[in-house]
Structure 1
Amino acid sequence: MKPALLFAVLMTAATPTLASSPSMPVDSAPSPAASITPPDVEKRPHTVTAPHGAQRQDEYYWLRDDTRQDPAMLAYLNAENAYVDTVMAPLKAVEDTLYEEIVGRIKQDDSSVPYRQRGWWYYTRFETGQDYPVHARRNGSMEAAEQVLLDVNAMAAGKDYFSVGDFEVSQDNRLLAWAEDDVGRRQYVIRFKDLDTGKVLDDVISGVSANIVWADDNRTVLYVENDPETLLTVRVKKHVLGTPASDDVLVYEEHDDSFYMGIGRTRDDKFICIGVESTVSSESRCAPAGDPREFVVLAPRERDVEYDADHHDGRWVIRTNAPGPDGKAADNFKLMTAPSDATSRAQWQEWIGVDEDVFIDGFELFDGFTAVAERSGGLERIRLLRGEAGQPGTAAEYVKADESAYSMGLSTNAEPDTDWLRYSYTSLTTPATTYELNTKTGERRLLKQQPVIGYDPERYVTERVWATARDGAKVPVSLVYKKGFEKNGQAALLQYAYGSYGYSMDPAFNLPVVSLLDRGMVYAIAHVRGGQEMGRKWYDAGKLMHKQNTFSDFIDVTRFLVGEGYAAKDRVAAYGGSAGGLLMGAISNQAPADYRVILSQVPFVDVVTTMLDASIPLTTNEYDQWGNPEDRAFYDVMLAYSPYDNLVAQDYPAMFIGTGLWDSQVQYWEPAKYVARLRDLDTSAAPVLFRINMDAGHGGKSGRFRRYRELAEMYAFMLDQLGVAPAGE
């Protein structure tokens, strides 16, 4: 159950060779928008009043239209798109080249690593020229005949947007349930298919999240119903195949609108659990998978106590930050065990204690060992614990990494009765790789590495550096560039960060970024506070009253990298999306001279107005992340950094801002209002482009190739602004 404002954009990168001799001097690079007039939009007086009486003027508030049908609003958005088309026309050849480079690296007929579950081997494959995946399986071995579960290409035919959010096969392997969305608003429809006959059943369930669980009778499905306006996950219902959805039985209803909700089966398949989670609290209630009628709470919710649990080998294993006997919270989390009939924290026993230097991120239970995902020193690692979960004196060892800056995590381990652990490994130079490790013999097998056509990792270098923030905090930074790069202060740099919700932006391979590296750019990920790369305290130091640390860290990383010669002061681009778009808006206001160009996707830029409106999807879930502005103290802090409210008359960097009309996480009107006010106040001649995807939501266009077309357009704009040679080697 992840915060829905999260937008995991596949970010960009940059590096060195051509950057020391750009195609034109940066100061003389022509602005493609110099002779073109951007759209103007009407101002209409509007006052936003907080419950405590504070007032703000919002002259562009009228651009909000929940129906997405206002002709004046749509005319403005279409005018913005036409403006982008005109400005970018001279760069179309560069955009096309970038797009062809990016998709040219993709092995189009690729497939995932198969995994076994209940005797069947499941995998996903792509066909040459097709945008969407085919989900399939084979019985007994990969040599058996293929059975197609879902051909998403056929399902998406004729649609501007289409996504399959989740799909689940019944316990007897005969029936398929899946959730689909053809709007982009993440309001899903569940449908069913008989896998023996291939027939799609008549049952249809609308207005739900993409979360499906089968009960053991193979006729009953549990799902999560959304509120139609706020999109909050509010009710768990039970559907019996062959009956109308209107007859579905209510299993559980969540009345606290600060909680997200999801459902799942335990590792041993014995229980179905409903989990609810806010920013600072969580609660699980479970029922036997064979009779999911009475759900029993594992431990009642308490503020500032988080936990998640799994069941295997006759006991619960629980990851929690609950305080110990001394009353001190386990900020970096610990592992506990409990009997199967546990109903309170009093029955929990400590297994792996808290470590101030190691954050426990998750775990996977097996018959003879446990794999624990951890973070230490800003990097991920996997600890292996042999023996039965919860038993004292369990031997521990660590899965080895091959580089100094990398990302490692648990992969798909569908069945617990194995000695083999599957895990993923990647870095800024190493494509996504899946290994399996024999925990008894130590043998490691390479199952697959993401094929990247024409890419040679030996031509690139990744490193980890540490920047000192203004308050003395050491901020980790992951870098990648091409071999031969010289830190002479001439290169162009693209710096990315997210910095919210405790989400860690680990240094993973980024296929599109190779096009930037080959043009001499440096790419950097700033692991700023608000993420969780350095443990829970790193997250806590970048939210609520401490949110300014996220912005200051990013700016200080930029200044450090420029000072160390990784980039020229006037050749820095910054990139962020969603809550990372908030970061982009804040640094644009606070340090505009440090950035030549800002790339911002689906940006959360109107913080106070949005958080004052509980009718907007997801707002109430975020009070413990940003603060509740009905409280004057939080209101003042949020107002001090909200990008829309802090726009002033000054020179701003060039900007490329994107959104989706049907975005349910960051509504389109936030960036629309922001761009309109920015143009009123910006005293520079730098272009501001606003691209609106009129048929997509928070994640952009669907399909594996379409999003690269959008990215290529944004890259072309950035390269032009930075004075980077348009052609690679």
Structure 2
Amino acid sequence: MSPILSKITLSLFVSSAMLMTACSNQHNEATTTMANLTAPIAKKIPHEMVIHNHTRIDDYYWMRDDSRTNPEILAHLDTENDYTAAQLKHTEAMQELIFKEIKGRIEKDDSSVPTKKGDFYYASEMQGENEYPIYLRSSDVIGSNSQVLLDVNELAKAHDYYQVSGLSASPNGKLLAYGEDTLSRRIYTVQFKDIAANTLLADKLEGTNGTVVWGNDNKTVYYIKKDPQTLLGYQVFRHTLGTPQASDEMVYQENNKSYYTGLSKSKDDSSVFIWHSSTEASGISIIDANDAKALPKPFIAREEGHEYSLTKVHDWYYIHTNWQATNFRLMKVHKTHIGDKKHWQDVIPANDTVKLEDYELFTDHLVYQQREQGVSRITIEQLSTGKKQQLSFNDSAYSLDLYGNNELDNKALRLHYASFTTPGTHYDIDLTTFKKTQLKQTKVLGDFNSNNYASERIFVTARDGKQVPVSLVYRKDTFKKDSTNPLYQYAYGSYGHTIDPYFSVSRLSLLDRGFVYAIAHIRGSEMLGRPWYEDGKKLNKMNTFTDFIDVTKALTMQGYGDADKVFAVGGSAGGLLMGAVVNMAPELYKGVAAAVPFVDVVTTMLDESIPLTTNEFKEWGNPKDKVYYDYMLSYSPYDQVSAQDYPNMLVTTGLHDSQVQYFEPMKWVAKLRDYKTDDKVLLFKTDMEAGHGGASGRFKSIHETALQYSFFIDLLNK
């Protein structure tokens, strides 16, 4: 048995020992069988692509089928799935053990903390073996007269994949709107339900993004329609209940394909906001929610490089803006002066070292969330007196999320708190006394004890001298800072998305087996503010990859992990990260898991018919510009595959992925098989029913985690 198991708790030791004994013969037989397995080899059909007087030959371009019906392509994906299943057959017992471990820690009967909106408190609950939630509401916070709004389990019965989106009650609380996706392409059909009668209305809105915003007359709704090819939501329609969708009025169309379109309603319910969002600029148009014939008016003219968001409180608009503020600031303007920045007034001034991340407004209180040196903090300010109070928390690194603060006259702030060692905890914090009331903490069943685990937050010096934050967690009785522990290193590193330390019941199955878990907060995130993001995008993108590599080297040199037992994981843009680092430093990793990886960067970014491409130009650059073409080509994982040894790899995708098309990882795996000079395992698994988010359902997704964990654990024993 692997030495990493030597100090785990007795119960886990016994169960694992029994498993290994039972499976030892299977493993030996599997080794013999695996030697006889032949990896699928894809045919080559050279496809020439020329731009900027440069020619690329793509031998696997033929794998793209937008209809997802080509028999040859589907057969090849099935063959890859069969090969993966055969290669991992000897791990099935381990997969099942880990699945049961994770599932066994989850409370089967669970409910969310109710949040108030209008006259009702809304919540969801999970029951028994159900995969999906039941949505409820009550007229009081204790739920004494709960009413079922939607049982997603019943709706999902007829579908292999089912996802509900955008539940929204009408202002009078009599009707419910919700979107449903049965293909995982994130194109939703909106349904309307009469809550009292428990029946669906005849109205049905096809081809939407899954969310509606109600006008105040209880019969008008605004929704976004998606382009079926690019999947961009670019048209806002107004629908009157009882009329056909074909007669809906288009009130806005976004003609700039680099912008996303969104919808929301102001906290005071007076306005519908249309959000115009690109990577480096944004805008908002406003519709009077009390006028079913109103047309949108821009809050302010769009400006390149200006990003902002709005909250409306009575006669004042509060603006979260980067205008003359790299790390954003909060300003306000009276409704009589919208459209003119010279009337904007500072509320929270700009700070070059502190990023203003989020805020909530109440009748007499402002709550704001800032990040300094990678750590979030919350401040409550009474507007009438200027009195301030900063909240404190026990952990050195943690995640904080403000949610459910729907009412202006709330007496308390609702937030969710978690850390590597603290399960998700919901608090109400009195806005006047600042007293914290714990409403709920996620229960972890079994023998979990948070005191068995420790977390650290360190900084690693990158090759250019920048200090990269790293969050670490491990089990105290298995960890030795002597370079003997297996290391699981995760990162994302794009779009300014910051991944704070969070609690995971699944992760315990790694920690209890001696793994050290690390999140590398590399450039491309906003962990150290907006400049940290800017230093990891477009012509600075290479910093994202070298940061990850430098963190790996530092963690093994400092004793946090065994240099021969390092496993790297990333998904989507984090899958691009995985593709880049295995090209640049394959020798550092024993195993790599890349989920829905964005790896064919240049080809995708040159094709504006591919969903979401045009929105990405400000993140990656436009390769029609030679400067960006050359730079992208220098790191694009698919283009940079070479004849060298690669780590053991597990690549996963979904056939119906709407964000990273299935053919990107499919082509990448085919090319890797052709070029790699090693005999390590390269596995490719496609979920033929799922999309970008993987399997739907709370227990189904655990199988994907168990597969990945088992893949890594198995590699430790070879």
The verdict on a shared fold, with TM-score over 0.5 as the criterion, is yes
Q: Displacement, 1:17?
A: 4.3
What corresponds to 2:348 in structure 1?
352
Cα pair 2:419 2:501 within 8 Å, conserved: yes
Tell me how far apart the structure 2 counterparts of residues 141 and 74 of structure 1 sit (CA, whole Å). Answer: 50
Give the aligned partner of residue 168 of structure 1. Answer: 168
The residue number in structure 1 matching 2:371 is 375
Deviations along 1:518-537, one digit per CA (max 9) or x if unpaired, are: 00110000000000111000
| Structure 2 match to 1:538 | 532
Q: What does 1:7-18 correspond to in 2, within 5 Å?
A: 17=7
Q: Which amino acid aligns with 1:176?
A: L
Is 1:436 aligned to 2:428, yes or no?
yes
Q: Which moved more, 1:140-149 or 1:170-179?
A: 140-149
Once the two structures are TM-superposed, the CA of residue 617 in structure 1 deviates from its matched residue by 0.3
Check conservation: 1:124, 1:134, Cα contact below 8 A: yes
2:451 is equivalent to residue 453 of structure 1:
no
The aligned residue for residue 299 of structure 1 is 300
Structure 1 CA distance, aligned partners of 2:398 and 2:392? 11
Matched, 1:333 2:328: yes
Q: 1:344 & 1:453 partners in 2: Cα distance?
A: 56
2:186 maps to which residue? 186
Matched, 1:472 2:452: no
After TM superposition, give the deviation of residue 146 of structure 1 in Å: 1.9
Q: Name the aligned partner's letter for residue 505 of structure 2.
A: L
Query: Greater CA deviation, 234-243 or 373-382?
Result: 373-382
Correspondent of 1:616 among 610, 613, 616: 610
* Whole-Å separation in 2 of the counterparts to 1:62 and 1:723: 38
CA distance in 2, matches of 1:15, 1:521: 10
One-letter amino acid of the counterpart of residue 474, structure 2 = Y
CA separation in 2, counterparts of 1:617 and 1:394?
A: 47
Q: Distance in 2 between matches of 1:487 and 1:654?
A: 25
1:719 aligns with 2:713: yes
- For 2:678, the equivalent position in structure 1 comes to 684
Instruction: Indicate which of 386, 398, 402 corresponds to 2:394.
Output: 402
CA–CA separation in structure 2 for the residues paired with 1:418 and 1:459: 38
Aligned residue for 2:575, secondary structure, equals helix
Bigger relative contact order (CA 8 A; separation at least 6): 1
Residue 597, structure 1, aligned to residue 581, structure 2: no
Structure 2 equivalent of residue 327 of structure 1: none
SS of aligned partner of 2:228: coil
Is the contact made by 1:16 and 1:521 (CA closer than 8 Å) also made in structure 2?
no
Q: In the alignment, what sits opposite 2:59?
A: 59
Aligned residues of 1:224 and 1:236 also touching (Cα < 8 A): yes
Deviates more, 1:535-544 or 1:483-492: 483-492
Please give the alpha-carbon distance, in whole angstroms, between the structure 1 residues aligned to 2:98 and 2:582: 27
Q: 1:423 corresponds to which letter in structure 2?
A: L
Q: Give a deviation string over 1:655-693, Cα, whole Å, max 9, x none.
A: 000000000100000000000000111111110110000
What CA distance in whole angstroms lies between the structure 2 residues aligned with 1:69 and 1:339? Answer: 55
1:259 and 2:259 correspond: yes
User: For 1:85 and 1:715, how far apart are their aligned partners in 2?
Assistant: 15
- Measure the CA separation in 2 of the matches of 1:113 and 1:629: 47
SS at structure 2 position matched to 1:644: coil
Whole-Å Cα distance in 2 between the matches of residues 260 and 32 of structure 1?
50
Q: SS in structure 2 opposite 1:516?
A: helix
Whether the aligned pair in 1 keeps the contact of 2:137 and 2:143 (CA below 8 Å) is: no
- Which position in structure 1 is the counterpart of 2:23? none
Q: 1:249 maps to what in 2? A: 249
Gapped runs of 5+ residues in structure 2? Answer: 21-27
Contact conserved, 2:174 with 2:196, CA < 8 A, in 1? yes
1:379-394 alignment to 2 at 5 Å?
379-388=375-384, 394=386
Query: Which of residues 377, 402, 405 is equivalent to 1:413?
Result: 405
| 2:336 is the alignment partner of 1:343 | no
Shift of the alpha carbon at 1:367? 1.1
Letter in 2 for 1:78: D
Aligned to 1:35: 36
Match of 1:424 among 416, 421, 430: 416
Shift of 1:287: 1.8
Q: Deviations over 1:156-190 (max 9, x none)?
A: 00211000021100000000000110000001100
Normalised by the length of structure 1, the TM-score is 0.93
Conservation of the 8 A alpha-carbon contact between 2:207 and 2:228: yes
Matches within 5 A, 1:6-155: 17=7, 33-50=34-51, 52-155=52-155
For the Cα contact (< 8 Å) 1:437–1:444, is it kept in 2? Answer: yes
Residue 32 of structure 1 deviates from its aligned partner by 8.0
**Aligned partners of 2:319 and 2:181: how far apart in 1?**
33
Corresponding residue SS for 1:511: coil
For 2:277, the aligned partner's letter is: E
- 1:521-600 → structure 2 map (5 Å cutoff): 521-600=515-594
Instruction: Kindly state the Cα deviation for residue 296 of structure 1 after the two structures are TM-superposed.
Output: 1.4
Other-structure match for 1:707: 701
Q: Secondary structure at the match of 2:526?
A: coil
Task: Confirm or deny: 8 A CA contact 1:33 1:687 kept in the other structure.
Answer: no
Letter in 2 for 1:139: S
Partner amino acid for 2:364? G
Name the CA shift for 1:206/1:477 in 2 (closer, same or farther; >3 Å).
same
Post-superposition Cα deviations, 1:197-237, rounded to whole Å, max 9, x if no partner, equal: 11111111111102210000000110001111001111000
Structure-2 change in CA distance of 1:173 and 1:458 (3 Å):
same
Superposition deviation, residue 18 in structure 1: 6.0
Q: Would you say the 8 A contact 2:483–2:560 is kept in 1? A: yes
Shift of 1:33: 4.0
Relative to structure 1, the CA distance from residue 32 to residue 435 in structure 2 (aligned partners, 3 Å threshold; closer, same or farther) is farther
1:573-606 per-residue CA deviation (whole Å, 9 max, x = no partner) reads 0000000000000000000000000011000000
**Contact 2:63-2:73 at 8 Å conserved across structures:** yes
Partner of residue 486 from structure 1, selected from 476, 480, 492? 480
How many aligned residue pairs are there?
696
Question: C-alpha deviations, 1:490-524, integer Å up to 9, x for none?
Answer: 11010000000000011001111100000011000
- Aligned CA distance change for structure 1 residues 132 and 443 (closer, same or farther; 3 Å): same
Provide Cα deviations, 1:252-283, integer angstroms capped at 9, x if missing partner: 00000000010111111111110101001000
Secondary structure, counterpart of 1:286 in structure 2: strand
The alpha-carbon deviation at position 345 of structure 1 amounts to 2.1
- Paired with 2:670 and 2:435, the residues of 1 have a C-alpha distance of 59
**Distance in 2 (alpha carbons) for counterparts of 1:567 and 1:32:** 32
User: Aligned-pair distance for 1:16?
Assistant: 9.3
Q: Which moved more, 1:654-663 or 1:448-457?
A: 448-457
